[in-house]
Amino acid sequence: MDSLYLYSVVWLTLAAVVAGLIVMSSNLDVFIAVSGSNESLKRQVSHLNWLRKILWFGILLLITISVVTAIRMLNERNRASEAIRAAVWPVYNPETVWKAPNVSLAETDDNAVLIAYGRDLIARTQDYFGTSGLVRPDAINGLNCQSCHLDAGSRPFGNNYFAVASTYPQLRPRSGSIETIPKRVNDCFQRSLNGQPIDSTSREMKAIIAYMRWLGTGVPKDAKPRGTGLPEVPFLDRPASPDLGREVYVSKCSSCHGADGQGLPMPPEGTRFYPPLWGERSYNQGAGLFRLSRLAGYVKANMPFGVTYDNPQLTNEEAWDVAAYINSQPRPGHPFLGTDWPDIAKKPYDHPFGPYRDSFPEVQHKYGPFKPIVAFYKKK
Ligand code: HEC
Ligand code: HEC
């Protein structure tokens, strides 16, 4: 039977019995008043009194039982919906590539509104901070977060955010300090988006954090699931070549990013676009992609747009060379050259700005070959 119907019947019956009892009690009082010394009337009254007590007891018992059942039913319903969520949520396994939870699952989260806003800020950053941005106009270059963090940071090896919730705050040698999620997000605002940091207490920052936390649900603390971030492309034995890279660029990239690398509008909607790869509207020299290994990894697993990490189109040589071509083009300078890498021994092998702890020239740190540099630090 429908539980709502059942409950109405139970409560109506209870109400009727209580009303009957009240009427009966007042009649009993009349009988007690007139019973005087009539023994048989007195006995009847005492029987009825007992009956009244038993009925009250029964009513109390019924009320207790129905309250307990209601609580149990509610708990069961919660457990059932949690089981449904758990059944469709990806299961963490260090051996297999982590898959992001389905976006529609975010709608069942207590934080649904904030998570959805965070995701939108990542996917359509231009709408909020671009030329005519809703939150702060003209605050960033021509990119969205999603230009580099594909599928709003949820694609395996597409520079995703799988390990953000599980590994921050963390000590980062680039700044030499403990970085929280807001600090790391603002790193990308100031470098990859060549713009202004946003207030760490703003609704926008809270939304981005809520989205990243949600995306990392199910990833154990400190774990970095397979498929996090970007893949490593095996080193070449020669320096990466901007000249060879230009040929790759012209044949495989310029159709979307433009012969001049400045990107193109994406028909039919004018607001989506193929992003610029160099020049004033692109990432600056302090950005992660200005490190050749990061750009080569991004390109190998994700470009030309549409390929995936397990079905790439470029060879390792092509990935390194086209990365060398893109990063040999002009772009905004490094805003934090003086303060980054306070411990120079911690600079990554492909950080293209000296001074170094080793004696390899800047140009080798920029284009390679990297094997000798890595070997040098391994020996130490
Ligand atoms: C030009 C490309 C680019 C853009 C645009 C960009 N990022 Fe990044 N982001 C990177 C790269 C590259 C890394 C570092 C990857 C690595 O070191 O493996 C990174 C790393 C991060 C990380 C740390 C991930 C981790 O697991 O440690 C966060 C968080 C992040 N970005 C947030 C953002 C946000 C938010 C935006 C938009 C406001 C944004 N990024 C825009 C390229 C970009
Ligand atoms: C079919 C169109 C297309 C082709 C071809 C293509 N890209 Fe892209 N590329 C995109 C799109 C679209 C994005 C942004 C992704 C998004 O917004 O979801 C992008 C983003 C990028 C980015 C990061 C954002 C930025 O502007 O720095 C780089 C780097 C990049 N592409 C390099 C390349 C390289 C190198 C090639 C050639 C090997 C290439 N792309 C070929 C469409 C394309």
Distance 303 CA to ligand 2 centre (A): 6
Q: How many domains does one find in the chain?
A: 3
**308 strand-pairing partners:** 311
The pair of structure tokens assigned to 257 is 């990013």
Q: Residue 169: pLDDT above 80?
A: yes
Cβ contact 128:134 at 8 Å: yes
Instruction: Check whether residue 107 and residue 73 sit in a common domain.
Output: no
The answer to whether 193 and 140 have CB atoms below 8 angstroms apart is yes
Q: Kindly state whether residues 278 and 211 are assigned to the same domain.
A: no
pLDDT at 128 over 80: yes
Domain for residue 95, yes or no?
Answer: no
- With respect to residue 221, please indicate whether it lies within any of the assigned structural domains: no
Of 58, 88, 118, the position where a domain reaches its end is: 88
Q: Give the pLDDT of residue 104.
A: 87
Closest CA to 144 of 157, 155, 128, 156: 128
DSSP-derived secondary structure for 97-147: B--PPPGGGGGGSTTHHHHHHHHHHHHTHHHHHSTT-SSSTT-S-S--HHH
Same domain as 284, residue 210: no
Domain that residue 56 falls in: 3-88
Verify that 16 and 49 share a domain, yes or no. Answer: yes
For the segment 32-52, the average pLDDT, to the nearest whole number, is 83
Distance, in Å, from the CA atom of 285 to the CA atom of 331, rounded to the nearest integer, reads 7
Nearest residue by C-alpha to atom 43 in ligand 2: 305
Query: Predicted confidence band at 62 (pLDDT cuts at 50, 70, 90)?
Result: confident
- Find the range with the poorest average confidence among 75-79, 120-124, 222-226, 369-373: 75-79
- Does one domain contain both 270 and 317? yes
d(CA 191, ligand 1 centre) in Å: 9
Q: Are residues 69 and 27 in the same domain?
A: yes
Closest to 286 (Cα-Cα) out of 346, 339, 343, 362? 339
pLDDT in the model for residue 89: 86
Give yes or no: residues 50 and 77 share one domain: yes
What b/e string do you get for 123-156 counting C-beta neighbours within 10 Å, with b at 16 or more? bbbbebbbeeeeeeeebbbbbbbbbbbbebbbbb
With a 6 Å cutoff on the Cβ, whether 299 touches ligand 1 is: no
Q: Is residue 231 part of a domain?
A: no
Q: What is the CA 170 to chain-centroid distance, rounded?
A: 17
* Together in a domain, 60 and 83: yes
Ligand 2, from 146, 266, 274: best to mutate by most atoms within 8 Å of Cβ? Answer: 274
Q: Are residues 375 and 247 in the same domain?
A: yes
Asked if 272 and 165 sit in the same domain, the reply is no
Based on the domain organization, do 188 and 144 belong to the same domain?
A: yes
Q: Kindly tell me if the per-residue pLDDT of 271 is higher than 60.
A: no
Residues with CB under 6 A from ligand 2: 143-144, 146-148, 150, 252-253, 255-257, 274-277, 282-283, 298-299, 303-305, 314, 322
Q: What is the CATH number of the domain that holds 174?
A: 1.10.760.10
139-143, 203-207, 266-270, 357-361: which range is least confident on average?
A: 266-270
The predicted-structure confidence for 278-319, as pLDDT tens digits, reads as follows 999 999 999 999 999 999 999 999 999 999 999 999 999 999
- The model's pTM: 0.84
* Average pLDDT, integer, range 182-189: 97
195 is a domain residue: yes
Higher pLDDT, 3 or 255: 255
Ligand approaching nearest to the C-alpha of 150: 2
Q: Which atom of ligand 1 sits closest to the CA of residue 224?
A: 26
Q: Is residue 97 part of a domain?
A: no
What is the distance in A from the centroid of ligand 1 to the CA of 286?
Answer: 12
305 and 184 co-located in one domain: no
Sign of the torsion formed by the C-alpha atoms of 186, 191, 195 and 196: positive
Q: What does the pLDDT average to over 118-128?
A: 95
